[in-house]
Amino acid sequence: MIALAPGGTIGILGGGQLGRMLSIAAAQLGFDVAIFTDEPDSPASRVSARTMVANYLDHAALADFARRVDVVTTEFENVPAETAQALIDAGARVAPNPHALAVAQDRFDEKSYFASAGIAAPPFRAVASQGELDAALAEIGAPAILKTRRLGYDGRGQIRIDSADDARGAYAKLGAPGILEGFCAFECEVSIIAARGADGAVAFYDLNENEHKGGILSRTTLPARVSADVEAQAQDAARRVLEAFDYVGVLTIEFFVMADGSLIANEMAPRVHNSGHWTVEGALTSQFEQHIRAIAGWPLGPTTRAASIEMVNLIGADAGAWPALAADPDARVHLYGKRNTRAGRKMGHVTKLKY
């Protein structure tokens, strides 16, 4: 592939904070960014050259968008498969591969894929009725977690099941086809941010150690307190996924680290990831620049980490602490420009580096 020259236009599906940070990184490399979003006044559109506000299934708008950009990428994995196909049909180059998006959108397909690729995942069963839930619970055993197959994120659409009693009526409460997963009593959670260039080169960032609160990422620290073997397992899994999908761009896999040092894959995100936000100040190439480099056909940049890292998310009202954070010389403050504060909403993050 011929590298996209500066001055070219990168299209991004989605207008959230990941799109915003991708757009800033793209601007730094001399690209223009066009955002396609169904949300007026989105965080990403306010830092981008152009925005098209339309429904993700509006084929005429997608065809128009495809004509105006050199490559299209996504900032959220729930882009409908039809959207990616419509863009491809209109002649757009879409990266990463929409097949990876489709697999990551459905927790059952995702875990089935992990199993087929030899990547350990929790025990799981698809459940499409209360009867199937009861049968799955009998096989997997409690504790377990019932999740929607699709459209779940940040702990939404999840019900913890500690007993057969908890399972009663749980399918109706979930309200959509689901997956029952065995609960993993992990030591800690880690994620790997990996990238693959158009030339097939692969790069990994150091492993992130992640703490969640209420299913939402709260804090990421590096170095992760895990062995070199755990890191090698994570890299091996990421490399397999990147190569299997002929993937171009940044990809994230989240894992549970078990007491015996084995890794169990929880989910993959075919995009830049919250646990990689530290790379803006903490690595030679940020995950956002890396993704833009990859999809533009540029060589990948070095992923070397500069310091020990603590990244803390500002969730909901946390962002109100910005005056104190701004006065802290150790805090690198990022605010996403969201107009409304809501409980559980990611409003920004703070990164601290220790040399």
Contacts to ligand AMP by CB under 6 A: 122, 145, 152, 155, 181, 183-184, 189, 212, 215, 254, 266-267
Nearest residue (CB) to ligand AMP, 86 versus 137: 137
Cβ atoms of 346 and 313 within 8 Å: the answer is yes
Is 93 or 149 the residue whose CB approaches ligand AMP more closely?
Answer: 149
Q: C-beta of 264: minimal distance to ligand AMP in Å?
A: 8
Radius of gyration in angstroms for the set of CA atoms belonging to the chain, rounded to a whole number? 20
CA atoms within a 13 Å half-sphere pointing along the CA-CB vector of 277? 29
Taking a C-beta distance cutoff of 8 angstroms, is the pair 155, 215 a contact?
A: yes
CB of 144 to ligand AMP, least distance (A): 8
Q: What token pair was written down for 162?
A: 């500690």
Three-state secondary-structure class, residue 173: helix
* 220 versus 266: smaller Cβ distance to ligand AMP: 266
- C-alpha distances in angstroms, 193 versus 34, 190, 299? 25, 10, 17
Percent of the chain as helix, strand, coil, to the nearest 5? 35, 30, 40
Least Å from the CB of residue 56 to ligand AMP: 22
Residue nearest ligand AMP by beta-carbon distance: 184
Q: How far is the CB of 156 from ligand AMP (least distance, A)?
A: 8
SS3 175: coil
Q: How far apart are alpha carbons 79 and 43 in whole angstroms?
A: 17
Which is nearer to ligand AMP, 167 or 296 (by Cβ)?
167
Question: Would you say 212 or 225 has its CB closer to ligand AMP?
Answer: 212
Coil/strand/helix, residue 264: strand
Cβ neighbors of 264 (< 8 A, separation 6 or more) are: 120, 121, 122, 184, 186, 255, 256, 258
At closest approach, how far in Å is the CB of 215 from ligand AMP? 4
Sheet containing strand 32-37, strands side by side: 50-53, 32-37, 9-13, 71-74
How far is 121 from 263, CA to CA, in rounded Å? 8
Q: Which is nearer to ligand AMP, 179 or 283 (CB)?
A: 179
Which of 45, 210 has the CB closer to ligand AMP? 210
